[in-house]
Amino acid sequence: MMPSHPPVPPLRRVAVLSVHTSPLEQPGTGDAGGMNVYIGQTAIEMARSGVSVEIFTRATSSDQPPVAELAPGVLVRHIPAGPFEPLSRAELPAQLCAFTSGVLRTEAFHEPGYYDVIHSHYWLSGQVGWLARDRWGVPLVHTAHTLAKVKNAALADGDSPEPRTRVIGEEQVVTEADRLVANTPVEARELVALYDADPHAVRTVSPGVDLDRFSPGSTAMARASLGLPGDAVVLAFAGRLQPLKAPDVLLHAAARLLRDRPELAERLVVLVVGGPSGSGLEQPHALRELARSLGIERQTRFLPPQPGRALAEVFRAADVVAVPSYNESFGLVALEAQACGTPVVAAEVGGLPVAVSHGVSGLLVPGHRAEDWARALGSVALRPERRAELAANAVRHAARFSWRRTTETLLGTYADAAVAFRDARALALQEVAV
């Protein structure tokens, strides 16, 4: 029989590991996306609740300060590891040793027990967290955000499969982490079925949305700020321009919509917001060329990645936001658009059926055929009454999610992990003594 233990002390400080991307970076280009938003927003909410957060990320420029403040109570530590320049994720495993050394060296300047828990994001960070957990004697909580086995099962045309190195690395982290945080029940099941995760170690914690920043507003004013006609039919995409996110699906669908409804030629606007990322870096102008070849160059407008409030204006200006990804662990863009009162048409993959309530706040499309997407987009954008109904429901649906709620659940997961970690160590010591 295990002896009773005193309660675990309250959390004081969390070490967050994000090797390949920083919450200080602008989402929508490079490797910056929903994960950056997740890390930054949950860290800010933790600090507001009295828990300090230190985020470790790789330094990509010699101009970056060793430590930057993201918000009161939230520090971002830039760890030198490899050249002072962005590296692809394929190049980063070679820098994990240097990065881990920097993380451990930082902790060594403090008294033992300085950090209460480690939360690693993406498998590269999980590899670092695994070692830090053993060295510091604190629990490791891990969020994958995307899984190689899932991504490889649903590759977009022109995309490259994730390497075996990543698959093995993910399997190792799943085995070693004290708690695994999944964004949706679907991801939780994938961790168990595909990675043999312990079901008792998996917790489902839905991401949130900044309901102050992303909120309903004037469509006319948003369109005026973007230089769009007030009577335009606006289809929008926001995200990294890479095969996985499938912005090309929207272009093909728009071309099909114009073929079926040629009278829209003077009113249709296809708004593509984002920058090249991953394999998209190899062909940064491919989408412009595709628009030209499809005959919709005049209707298509490209904008660079937009910061939060400007992105909200993009969503308010749109009749519908398309999220045609081949895989999404959740789909924050879908939630942000709905919070602005804009219906979403999304692919029926990954966590998007959680982010979008089919037939209520938007539509889910099985597959990526242009005719199916054109039909779904037209059924929302070209039917004002239907669109108004979905828009009102979209706001209510998004209101169910908040970063405060996400963070409260995360903090509960940390506390749970701390208790389990303490008990496991006590049991191990007892077995050694016997």
Binding residue numbers for UDP-N-acetyl-alpha-D-glucosamine:
26-27, 34, 240, 245, 306, 328, 336
β-partners of residue 182 are 204
**Residues 6+ away with beta carbon under 8 Å from 344:** 320, 321, 322, 323, 334, 337, 338, 355, 356, 361, 362, 363, 394
- SS3 of 350-372: the string is CCHHHHCCECCCEEEECCCCHHH
Tell me if residue 57 falls in helix, strand or coil: strand
Q: CB within 8 A of 328, min separation 6: which ones?
A: 334, 347, 349, 350, 351, 352, 355
Return left, alpha or beta for 407; rule: phi > 0 is left, psi -120 to 50 is alpha, else beta: alpha
The answer to whether residues 5 and 415 touch, using CB atoms and an 8 Å cutoff, is no
Which parts are annotated binding residues?
Answer: 20, 26-27, 31-36, 89, 122, 146, 166, 240, 245, 306, 315-316, 318, 328, 336, 342
Helix spans in 196-296 (H): 219-226, 247-260, 286-294
Beta strands 362-365 and 344-347 are parallel
Q: CB count, 10 Å around CB of 63? A: 7
Degrees (nearest 5) of the Cα angle 139, 55, 195?
Answer: 50
192 CB burial (10 A radius; 0-12, 13-18, 19+): middle
Length of the chain: 434
Those residues with Cβ within 8 angstroms of residue 202's Cβ, 6 or more apart along the chain or in another chain: 179, 180, 182, 188, 191, 192
In the annotated binding site for Mg(2+), the residues are: 315-316, 318, 342
- The one-letter amino acid code at 224 reads A
DSSP string, 92-113: GGGGHHHHHHHHHHHHHTS-TT
Side by side, the strands of the sheet bearing 300-303 are 300-303, 268-273, 233-238, 320-323, 344-347, 362-365
Binding residues for 1D-myo-inositol 3-phosphate: 20, 31-36, 89, 122, 146, 166
Residue 358 in tokens: 């089919």
What are φ and ψ of residue 16, in 5° steps? -105, 130
